[in-house]
Amino acid sequence: MALTKFNFNSFDVTSAASKGLGFNASANGFSTIDSTSIVLIKTITASSDSTISFVDGSSDVVLDNTYPVYMFKFINIHPGTDDKNFQFNMSVDTGSNYNVTKTTTVFKANHDEGDSATNLTYDTGEDLAQGTGFQTLGNGVGADNDQSLSGTLHLFNPSDTTFVKHFMSTIQYYAFNNYTNNFYVAGYGNTTSAVDAVQFKFSGGNIDSGTIKLYGIKDS
């Protein structure tokens, strides 16, 4: 199979850096997302909260057909209790119940500070197969003062009433056992009802601190 040569001379690094970088099958293999295509909808800062919820139509939250893609950005999410899992679930009844049926895949890569152990595995303990419980986005998050979790979750077409609700997340965190962990989750909510609320929590204790931002991404 022949390899396609990448033409660096025709790639505008300055423009891409200012806008955000994506990948497609065009001539150079790259595309940019203009900053005006990403709209900040809501910012919630945790303060010893048991849960953080984003409900369409509540407190200026938009989670409907305004945007085809929604992105949640997690910044330094810190648990109140050590060695807990950061999780999420969806609702189709404006937050009365967070129990959407989900099927997911989960991969994890980690490396310890002592450089004595590395691992890349499919995590059968954290995936779901038609489960209604909360999906783990990162397990064993540390609660030391300098430990936290950051990353993103993308939710596609939550208001669609024809197809299931696809989502994918990439999370990086400082684990309780002094490992750096990268946690990758992809799956779908098996519902054709509109998803109108999303909730985040730890498997035990509170979300001690940190920020979650909700963005809408316009169609290109």
Instruction: Encode pLDDT of 123-168 as tens digits.
Output: 999 999 999 999 999 999 999 999 999 999 999 999 999 999 999 9
Q: Counting every residue, how long is the chain?
A: 220
Task: State the average pLDDT for the chain.
Answer: 89
Domain extents in the chain: 39-217
Per the CB < 8 A criterion, the answer to whether 139 and 126 are in contact is yes
Coil, strand or helix: which one is 8? helix
- What pTM did the predictor assign? 0.85
Instruction: Encode pLDDT of 49-62 as tens digits.
Output: 999 999 999 999 99
Question: What string of DSSP letters covers 143-181?
Answer: -STT--EEEEEEEE-TT-SSS-EEEEEEEEEEBTTSEEE
CA torsion through residues 183, 187, 191, 197, sign: positive
Per-residue confidence band for 6, with pLDDT thresholds at 50, 70 and 90: very low
Q: Does domain 39-217 have CATH number 2.60.120?
A: yes
Residue 108 has pLDDT above 60, yes or no: yes
Q: Which residue has the tokens 């310890």?
A: 112
